[in-house]
Amino acid sequence: MHLETQQQNTRSEIRAILKVSENTLWRDINETLSYALAIAEMPTIKALMTKDGKAGLGSPAPEQLTGFLSTLIKHYPRYTKLMLIDNQGVEVLRIPGDTPSDPRLARRDHANTDYFKSASELFARDLYISPPGRNLQYEIFSGEVIPVVNVATPVFDDQGERQGMVLLSLNWQHLTEAVHQAAQMEPTAGVILTDAQGRWLLTERNQQLPPMSFGDDYAQLTDESWQHITGLDKGVLTQENRLLRFQRMDMRRQTHQGLAGHIFSQDDTLPWVLGVSLPNPTWKSLLQDDASVVWFLLLIYSTAVALGIYWAFSSHQQRLLRHQAQQRAIEVSNLYESAPCGYHSLNADGVIIKMNQTELDWLGLTRDAVGYRCYRDFISSDSLLDFDQAFQEVKAGRQGEAECKLVATDGEQRQVVIQSVGYLEQDRFIYSNASVFDITDRKHLEEKLRAQAMTDPLTGVFNRRYLQAQASVEISRASRHQTPISLIAIDIDHFKQINDDYGHDAGDEVLKRFADEIKGLLRQEDLLCRVGGEEFAVLLPNTTLEEAWQVAERIRATVEKAHVSIEHDDTPATITITASFGVTHVASNEKTLKAAIKRADNGLYEAKDTGRNRIVIRKL
């Protein structure tokens, strides 16, 4: 009975370690895929890849974009580099910029790599993951040679045209480090990770297993055991004096976060095999560990003979109850630690007295922080008031809820909702129990939708709705500070004829080029909006009527010199454009732009009627 109990405990412990290892690996992979998709969806990435109608090294990346991507790579050690690659396989951008290129890539041309060929055939939100150890399998990172895995996803513009791809190179050593840490739950545990062919995928050696290095043939080393593993999706087998539990991990069938589409890789390397082994208890090991246990068991058996059948049934029932309790304890612990939301408990001073692994990972903490760190230290300054008010409600015995911003030890911020209740004894607060829900993705989606609602999708400038909303703000500011504010109405000349002669695609190119030319001539505080088909408006804060005329003249002269190159009936063609302008001043007593827009439009119509390509000023 004692031996069987030890063996049951060993099986339960293996299952727990295997589950934690699997959850940790999937979590890191899911986060990586979500980041790759998020970068591919960034408007600045799409703008860079479609600049001047084509991607390539000739289109320099904005400093703000390169700064953001450099910060991402710098603060996330799971990444070694990030690249943008156009439809011909040529690099557009590499972060960090000093990352050495593989000598097999002439002029950084990726056209013949597995990730470029595969990702070039994917749809939006699909991803391709190169197998560990295949194609550019090693890089120098922080002075150390490490294996990498490439994750590629295509980039599509707003019209659904493929413009290239995003490539993230993962530090495979860092990604699999969590698997080793999970195995450290038990010093005698050994962990294996191989691809479908039996190639070893771990970078750190395990003292409990035969010495293996990354890329070694584990299948050949354990030929008989490997044949048993290849026939099952999961199972348990005995290797010499150790018990091994294994299961297959196929990312192509895994449910991923971040609204990912399909996951692709080289089929002969998937699924991976993840396994955990522990020493299998035997009579010999029990004797070696504790001889007193054997004497105690002999005494129990002697007593059992005297007590008879009653004791036998009672002992059997206790064994079943103990086994059930162990199973439920493990299940509850796994649910608590690996829940998709955070859980924590605080004492009256706000010190963390309990926290699950999910929230510890969010905050970048270890178990050592429990009992010492104050939870309030991880609340952003602009959220402290809401948190303190909710915590006071909880200490008073009422339910508290607050929407806060958590700041991890590495500076990463996460928008959350905290729902908490207090435990009181004789009206005295003892501790609080709180559930923490991550709403960061929802907040980002809300901001994205809000921005899309205020932006013209074709030209990327603001739309009429945003002009009306922002105008009231600028008019109020001008009234408070007694500063002038002006408005320019602009209309492209003969735009209908352009559409009729060359088609609407050519018309769209003219609109985009027209907007780009104007944006380059305005200040940061100036507001350019597309208010109709070929009609634009420019709101100029702190600008007199004379200065507004100068701005309009600068735009008119620049547009007149611009040429738009297109393909018409498979023949190159060049379109020249001009525009007419109406300029007016917004009066101090006007609360909206309605009257100013009418005056500017009247000036615009007069400019049209008197020959076009000119400016007409309409005063109050």
- Catalytic residues, by residue number, are 534
**Counts of helices then strands in the chain (DSSP H, E):** 19, 24
Contact 543, 551 (CB under 8 A): yes
Longest dimension (CA), the chain: 120
The tokens for 533 are: 């088909």
For residue 299, give Cα distances in angstroms to 91, 295, 305, 525. 76, 6, 10, 89
Contact 80, 173 (CB under 8 A): no
User: CB-hemisphere CA count at 13 Å for 412?
Assistant: 15
Q: How far apart are CA 602 and CA 20, in angstroms?
A: 70
Helical pair 309-337 and 291-307, crossing angle rounded to 10 deg? 130
CA dihedral 537, 456, 577, 161 (to 10 degrees): 170
H or E element at residue 567: strand 563-568
Angle at 76 between CA 73 and CA 78, to 5 degrees: 100
Classify residue 416 by its DSSP letter. Answer: E
Phi and psi at 411, nearest 5°, equal 90, -10
106-112 contacts, C-beta under 8 A, 24 or more apart:
110/83, 110/85, 110/167
Classify residue 199 by its DSSP letter. Answer: B
Q: How many CB atoms lie within 10 A of CB 330?
A: 15
If phi > 0 it is left, if psi is from -120 to 50 it is alpha, else beta; for residue 134 that is beta
The tokens for 111 are: 């056209």
- Measured distance between the N- and C-terminal CA atoms of the chain, rounded to whole angstroms: 100
User: CB-hemisphere CA count at 13 Å for 69?
Assistant: 26
Angle at 133 between CA 130 and CA 135, to 5 degrees: 60
Beta bridge partners of 150: 169
H or E element at residue 434: strand 428-438
Q: How far apart are CA 147 and CA 144, in angstroms?
A: 10
H or E element at residue 576: strand 571-576
The tokens for 101 are: 């290129």
Phi and psi at 55, nearest 5°, equal -100, 165
H or E element at residue 551: helix 545-561
The tokens for 573 are: 């063609």
- Burial, 281: exposed, middle or buried (Cβ in 10 Å; 0-12, 13-18, 19+)? buried
The tokens for 55 are: 């991607």
